Structure 1
Amino acid sequence: MTVRSTINSAPHSAWAEAGGGAAFTVRFWGVRGSIAAPGPGTIRYGGNTACIEVRCGGAHIVFDCGTGIRPLGEALVRSGEPLDIDLLLTHSHLDHICGLPFFAPAFDPASRLRLWAGHLPPERPFRTVLSDMMTAPLFPVPVEIFRAQCEYRDFSAGQTLEPKPGVVVRTCRLNHPDGATGYRVEFGGRSLCVLTDTEHLAEGRDPVILDLLRGADLMVYDSTYTDAEYPARIGWGHSTWQECLRLAEAAGVGRAVIFHHDPARTDAELDVIAAEAEAMRPGSLVAREGMELTLQAAAPPFPAVDRNSSTPS
């Protein structure tokens, strides 16, 4: 297995250097679902809502703009690096977009931001949704306050995106109220899938999701509930950590990451889930703020050999 996980307290600029070239790095800035959950019971795993930063092949990708995007933005500003970021939105429920007005790079004229959304109808693009959120009396300043070079790129789930040459992002629709999009990032022979928010089927597995996941090195999956909690929450649009591991096994995923923790889930409870997940499928991880994962570049193929010659061609 070529996935290495570390908890890194180094400055963001040092981590950013590691993300260049052939590296494929993933960092979690927000791992909670539904609503932020600060407090003494969530210190170790974190209380910020969804935000995942990915760097590979010159691409700088951020999945979702929950409250975790605020500390990410502060770290990016401190790093002083030029910012050219693709923001890939799984959907536009508040816990996944409410941090965007507090993302410092959005106020920097030198920043370039592309905001991708694949879950909305053509008559209601993401800029309209964001503008509605940033409208009185819900919010005191309009979306026009952003000074970054912002591009809004709506698409249909199922399309393939290419944010940078050599970095391919496949997409699919997810099972969530108001729609959501799952993503698979491919670079250098390695792959990461992000599937949140989504609810598994009552019987069998969604072939579209299985196809997206097949053989991925790393999967981040909506694991809001336990199997025991789920029956009382059918139709809410979320899955369980046990289903996360079963799905990873069915799709041949290298390593699964349990993500989108219920806001009521304490550190102690997540410790128990981590131990049970390790027993059920060794190598599984429970996402926590600050966790970094590195997908090592795939080994190059052996050189072709000319069978009519004594030297490699």
Structure 2
Amino acid sequence: MFQSPLIVRFWGVRGSIPSPGPHTVRYGGNTPCVEIQAGGERLIFDGGTGLRVLGEELLKHLPITAHVFFSHTHWDHIQGFPFFQPAFIPGNCFHIYGVPGVDGHSIQQCLNDQMLHPNFPVPLQIMAGALKFHDLGPGAVTKIADATITNQRLNHPGGGVGYRIKWHGQVISYVTDTEHYPDKLDPAALSLANQADVMIYDATYTDAEYYSPAQSKIGWGHSTWQEAVKLAQTARVKHLVLFHHDPTHDDEFLDEICQLAQQAFPNTTVAHEGLILSLGTS
């Protein structure tokens, strides 16, 4: 029987803070949001400002039921949620998943708190769509129709998880906001990435930036494109997607990173807003 392809679409690819302007037009300035369409199910990973743009698209397809998975609750990954228009519309339903951070705060509490005064004019409770919150444990397995979503703890200040999505033999690994270890590859990241068809990886810095004696980024919770290549090679990933671009990296800089990364791992893409990947079924 024919199966529709697994579709991955990038709505926000920038890290840390939105960075609009003439120098980020081609890759985009919205913060993280990745949509996966697996058959009839819509899976959304992170709710940065890219979620607002996705919401505008979803208004064309009401009513909507979707599943939103958060890697963690730093601002750049949740700041689009208060502007996610479909959540304000009755008849829409959103299942929202997250692993509590090291402080124990649930995903519901974090999304609620960012919409309280003095940070926001209206509370989360004004959203008229059905919001169903699910607290996940580290390593939890979530089944949504034919999709299986697992998570692993990653090395990030305050805690965070990556996700592995499997659907009809196809695997997508979402490994963002993680810092590599100096002397070994992270076993959790390796597990998430193992033989993935697509690995989306936190490549915020270059090695030169990360190890800079003037302003080292060690301990900031992010990785480099060079480490992404090492992980992709070791895990035997088919397609590497560099993600979570530093706000100071303009289009020309990302073009240079793309060329260098492709020399080391030819099937590499630097994520840009609007990028669509279509994976066939086995």
- Give the alignment's TM-score, normalised by structure 1: 0.86
1:129 maps to what in 2?
Answer: 110
Are 1:267 and 2:251 an aligned pair? yes
Q: Which amino acid aligns with 1:289?
A: E
After superposition, give the CA deviation of every residue in 1:31-86 in whole Å (9 maximum; x if it has no partner).
00000000000000000000001001322011100001111100110x23431110
2:152 maps to what in 1?
Answer: 172
Distance in 2 separating the partners of 1:142 and 1:291: 33
Distance in 2 separating the partners of 1:22 and 1:167: 13
- Give the alignment's TM-score, normalised by structure 2: 0.95
2:127 maps to what in 1?
Answer: 146
Structure 1 or 2, whichever has the larger Rg, is 1
Are 1:69 and 2:87 an aligned pair? no
Please, what is the CA RMSD of the aligned residues?
1.3
Contact in 1 for aligned 2:226/2:261 (Cα 8 Å) = yes
2:22 maps to what in 1?
Answer: 40
Distance in 2 separating the partners of 1:183 and 1:83: 23
Are 1:233 and 2:217 an aligned pair? yes
Alignment size in residue pairs = 277
Are 1:28 and 2:10 an aligned pair? yes
Alpha-carbon offset, residue 229 of structure 1: 0.6
Contact in 2 for aligned 1:119/1:173 (Cα 8 Å) = no
Going from structure 1 to structure 2, the CA distance change for 1:238 and 1:122 (only over 3 Å counts) comes to: closer
Contact in 1 for aligned 2:141/2:149 (Cα 8 Å) = yes
Q: Which runs of 4+ in 1 moved over 3 A?
A: none
Query: 3-state DSSP class of the match of 1:40?
Result: coil
Distance in 2 separating the partners of 1:81 and 1:137: 32
Query: 3-state DSSP class of the match of 2:23?
Result: helix
Distance in 2 separating the partners of 1:238 and 1:47: 18
**Structure 2: which 5+ runs fail to align?**
none
1:109 maps to what in 2?
Answer: 90
Q: Structure 1 vs Structure 2: percent identity of aligned residues?
A: 44
2:194 maps to what in 1?
Answer: 214
1:183 maps to what in 2?
Answer: 163
After superposition, give the CA deviation of every residue in 1:179-227 in whole Å (9 maximum; x if it has no partner).
1010010001100000111000111112222122111100000000001
Q: Which amino acid aligns with 1:173?
A: R
Aligned counterpart in structure 1 of residue 31 of structure 2, from 49, 54, 57: 49
Contact in 1 for aligned 2:153/2:161 (Cα 8 Å) = yes
After superposition, give the CA deviation of every residue in 1:153-202 in whole Å (9 maximum; x if it has no partner).
0111211111x222101110010011101001000110000011100011
Distance in 2 separating the partners of 1:122 and 1:47: 30
Contact in 2 for aligned 1:21/1:58 (Cα 8 Å) = no
Contact in 2 for aligned 1:119/1:181 (Cα 8 Å) = no
Aligned counterpart in structure 1 of residue 227 of structure 2, from 224, 234, 243: 243
